[in-house]
Amino acid sequence: MTECSTICVFCGSSIRVDQVYRETAKEMGRIIGEARIDLVYGGGRVGLMGLVADAALSAGSRVTGIIPQFLKEREVDHPLLDELIITENMHTRKQLMYERANAFVSLPGGFGTFDETIEVLTWSQLGLLAKPIILVNVKGYWDPFVSLVRHAVDEGFTQTKHTEIMSVVDAPAGVLPLVGNQTTISPQIQI
Ligand code: AMP
């Protein structure tokens, strides 16, 4: 497994969520920072996104935010990042995030997080990406999504081989072993 230098985290922009999700976001940021892995993300200072970025920055990551102009105008961008890239639109933002990362981590989130997670799965299926996609399934948040993916396989809409790029771990501690920066493998579910 090659060394992972940059992780892209997808996660919710809401902060009005269970404390366990907020703690997970901070822990994910801390783990990335302590491993001296760069973080790339949507560039916001709000919600879980802001918590991941703050924790990664204080633990030593170089953090890049990639935000579309219209969101920057709403002043939701994080002011303390090492790098803030402003894109014309959402499409360019996502493409740049996907290019820069060696691996993708999806923490709990809403439509934006679903969109980004499904998009990297779709691009992988099409052969445009070949980078690990890891769902952090704290509080069983991703269980319904995993069931839907299994349903798609059972019903013949998705091939099992196209789900193999995706792993599910119970907690942020399970992420690094799957991206090549540690040797111990923690419990995980391969879909
Ligand atoms: P959601 O899961 O619906 O809260 O959306 C979160 C995802 O969408 C993040 O990974 C971001 O890329 C993007 N996003 C949504 N809202 C914002 C925001 N206010 N600032 C920056 N990015 C956002």
Counting atoms of ligand 1 from 1, which one is nearest the CA of 74? 19
Residues 22, 9, 29, 190, Cα dihedral to 10°? 90
Distance 116 CA to ligand 1 centre (A): 9
Please, which pLDDT band fits residue 181 given cuts at 50, 70 and 90? low
- Quick one: residue 178, left, alpha or beta (phi over 0 = left, psi -120 to 50 = alpha)? alpha
pTM above 0.75, yes or no: yes
Predicted pLDDT of residue 168: 98
Q: How far out from the chain centre does Cα 30 lie?
A: 14
What are the tens digits of pLDDT across the range 110-165? 999 999 999 999 999 999 999 999 999 999 999 999 999 999 999 999 999 999 99
**Residue nearest (by alpha carbon) to ligand 1 atom 13:** 112
Confidence of residue 180 (pLDDT cuts 50, 70, 90): confident
Give the model confidence (pLDDT) of 6-41 as tens digits. Answer: 999 999 999 999 999 999 999 999 999 999 999 999
Q: Which atom of ligand 1 is nearest to the CA of 113?
A: 2
* Residue minimizing CA distance to atom 5 of ligand 1: 112
Report the nearest atom of ligand 1 relative to the CA of 47. Answer: 4
Cα-to-centroid distance, 109 and ligand 1 (Å): 8
Q: What domains appear along the chain, each with residue ranges and CATH number? A: 6-184 (3.40.50.450)
Q: Cα(12) to centroid of ligand 1, in Å?
A: 6
Q: Report the separation in Å between the CA atom of 78 and the middle of ligand 1, taken as the mean of its atom positions.
A: 12
Q: Which residues line ligand 1 (CB under 6 A)?
A: 10-14, 42-44, 46, 49, 67, 71, 76, 109-113, 116
3 state DSSP class of 127: coil
Instruction: Find the angle CA(149)-CA(158)-CA(138) to the nearest 5 degrees.
Output: 20
Residue 186 has pLDDT above 90, yes or no: no
Question: How confident is the model over 55-86, as pLDDT tens digits?
Answer: 999 999 999 999 999 998 887 889 999 999 99
